[in-house]
Amino acid sequence: MSGTSIVLDTNICLYLLNGDRQLAAMLEDQALRISQITRMELLSYSGITRDELKRVDVFLETWPVEPIHAAIEDLAIRLRRKYRLKLPDSIIAATACHHESPLMTADRKLELLIPEVQVVRYEPA
């Protein structure tokens, strides 16, 4: 996985925030990207505590958050229609596709994107 940036799915960010050391070791020294929709998902949990919010803010300041612009929007629309994805999944996948980066996820259903997006699936221990 070296040599390119990796777009992290929201579930991967949650594993990292919860202290998954195996995952953190895998991603050490990698250039990571986070979709704007992942930022929104992480910050919008209704039960998030003040301390958790601070941890998420620090996490989000560590790597670039990629904005949703017209090219990503168009890709997301196409991927959502073609693969019947949820809107957040299609935006995150479109972000990876737009940047020609692998998408790291723990979500098995996103493997169906492999013809168009390089999907790296993570299986937590």
**Domain total of the chain:** 1
Tracing tokens 């790597």 back to the chain, one arrives at 63
Phi first, then psi: what are they for 41, rounded to 5°? -65, -45
Q: pLDDT category, 56, cuts 50, 70, 90?
A: very high
Residue 96 is part of a domain; what is its CATH number? 3.40.50.1010
Say if residue 105's pLDDT is above 90. yes
Residue 31 · residue 5 · CB < 8 Å = yes
> What is the Cα–Cα distance from 16 to 21, expressed in whole angstroms?
8
Tokens 């493997």 correspond to what residue?
A: 111
Confidence of residue 4 (pLDDT cuts 50, 70, 90): confident
Cα-flanking dihedrals φ and ψ of residue 85, to 5°? -85, 160
pLDDT at 1: 47
Looking at residue 97, its pLDDT comes to 96
Q: Identify which of 84, 63, 72 has the alpha carbon closest to the alpha carbon of residue 16.
A: 63
Domain that holds residue 22: 5-121
Q: In which band, very low, low, confident or very high, does the pLDDT at 125 lie, cut at 50, 70 and 90? A: confident
